[in-house]
Amino acid sequence: MKEVYITKTAKFLPNEAVENDAMEEILGCINDRASIAKRIVLRNNQIKKRYYALDKQGNPTHNNAALTQEAVMALFDEDFKESDAQLLSCGTASPDQLIPSHAAMVHGLLPNSPNLEINAPSGACCSGMNALKYGYMAVRAGLVENAICTGSERPSTWFLSNKFDEEVKQLEALEEQPIIAFHKEFLRWMLSDGAGAFLLKDKPEGDLSFKIEWMEGYSYANELESCMYNGADKLENGSLRSWSEYTPMEWMQQSIFALKQDAKLLGENILVKGVESMKWAMEKHQLGAADVDYYLPHISSYYFKERLYNEMVKQDFEIGWDNWFMNLYKVGNVGAASIYLMLEELAASNDLKKGDRILLSVPESARFSYAYAYLTVC
């Protein structure tokens, strides 16, 4: 088995940063009314800036594949050309279409690349880590000499106000208050666009590489019902009913394709299971909290930051504040891309030294799964 190193990191954040006051100018107001939920959500998540693949009029400037292609292209140089790539592994929660796969569409935007293997893990935030793990295993097993792994999202077009017009009309026709349910509007003020990419090789290169010591993943779907979902609706018994079982009229009237989240279920489980699974991963490799120099947690909101730390203390796995590294407030919650964007920024900070140990931690609220990677700076 070969060793595996992240030898280069890259990112792409589209257009100009969007501050809180400008969000509704781009996404639009539902029913021509300023959102009440927006103020509540932004106060809790404390995100100040994010990026949209939209112009100021709400018109798309990039699709998800194009965002990913931009990040991938930033990995190429004279020493590693597009024609040298052997594996492309792309994770996202917001593909541009159901079929073909997201990875196939990204490959289609790389005309100078060879015929190579592609991989497109589905899911939510963990899909970016699953893409990384596939590349890691392929290089480690000696199946390829290099792998390009990506995480990306482009949910902004899902949140444009026109996506909710039919549901508002239906509520008005029933003489009900035309306000979209909080579980449908909540994520409108949480998520944004962007892409990150890593280049993996079996030898370190340049002044800075990250050796991937191990990766682990855990699912709690056997214990818990779905929390975040899209293209389905949740029934009273907790099961999901697929979009394919609704009529096209119901798709619009009930915003079936809106991304929804059960905030109560999220709050009750995301941190407890997160710390528990992180302990499992670390203990499996005979490591403790003291073996982490940089802790990069993907969290959806700063609302969870203090609560996550308190849960660590409660479960006797405390990673001190000085070891935390986050950039959520200035790039936004970019789902599967967030962990790529964090490591890319940390790599560019010039703060790292040889031997530093980094723990990447990614939760996924969709049905509560978690992914971890332990890196050493070399």
Write out pLDDT tens, residues 165-221. Answer: 777 766 566 555 555 666 678 889 999 999 999 999 999 999 999 999 999 999 999
Find, among 283, 167, 160, 164, the residue nearest to 218 by Cα: 283
- Rounded CA gap, 229 and 365, in Å? 9
pLDDT band for position 342 (cuts 50, 70, 90)? very high
Q: Which residues pair with 242 in a beta bridge?
A: 232
Confidence label for 37 from pLDDT (cuts 50, 70 and 90)? confident
- Mean pLDDT over 335-341 rounds to 98
Query: What burial class does residue 304 get, using C-beta atoms within 10 Å of its C-beta: 0-12 exposed, 13-18 middle, 19+ buried?
Result: buried
Does the pLDDT at position 357 exceed 90? yes
What are the boundaries of each domain within the chain?
1-373
| Averaged pLDDT for residues 242-257 | 92
The angle subtended at Cα 135 by Cα 81 and Cα 118, nearest 5°, is 70
Q: Tell me which residue of 48, 358, 35, 341 sits closest to 197, measured CA to CA.
A: 341
Q: Give the Cα separation of 300 and 135 in Å (integer).
A: 25
Least confident of 23-27, 102-106, 252-256, 340-344: 252-256
Average pLDDT of the chain is 94
* DSSP E strand stretches across the chain: 5-12, 18-19, 49-50, 87-92, 117-119, 146-153, 194-201, 210-219, 228-229, 232-234, 240-242, 260-261, 294-297, 357-364, 369-377
CA distance 335 to 97: 18
Alpha helices in the chain (DSSP H): 23-27, 36-45, 64-73, 102-108, 126-140, 165-173, 182-185, 248-253, 263-284, 305-314, 328-331, 338-348
pLDDT of residue 35: 86
Q: What is the pLDDT of residue 182?
A: 66
For range 273-300, the mean pLDDT? 97
Which structure tokens are listed for 235? 């029934």
pLDDT at 243: 96
Global pTM reads 0.94
The mean pLDDT value for 49-56 works out to: 97
**300: pLDDT strictly greater than 70:** yes
One-letter amino acid for residue 57 of the chain: Q
| CB-based burial, 274-286: b 16+ in 10 Å, e otherwise | bbebbbebbeeee
Cα(271)–Cα(172) distance, integer angstroms: 39
CATH number for the domain formed by residue range(s) 1-373: 3.40.47.10
Contacts of 150 (CB under 8 A, 6+ apart): 68, 71, 72, 88, 89, 90, 91, 106, 128, 131, 195, 196, 197, 198, 337, 340
* pLDDT for res 238: 93
**Burial class of residue 78, CB neighbours in 10 A (0-12, 13-18, 19+):** exposed
Q: Is the pLDDT assigned to residue 252 strictly greater than 90? A: no
Q: Given pLDDT bands bounded at 50, 70 and 90, which one contains residue 58?
A: very high
The mean per-residue pLDDT over the stretch 1-13 comes to 98
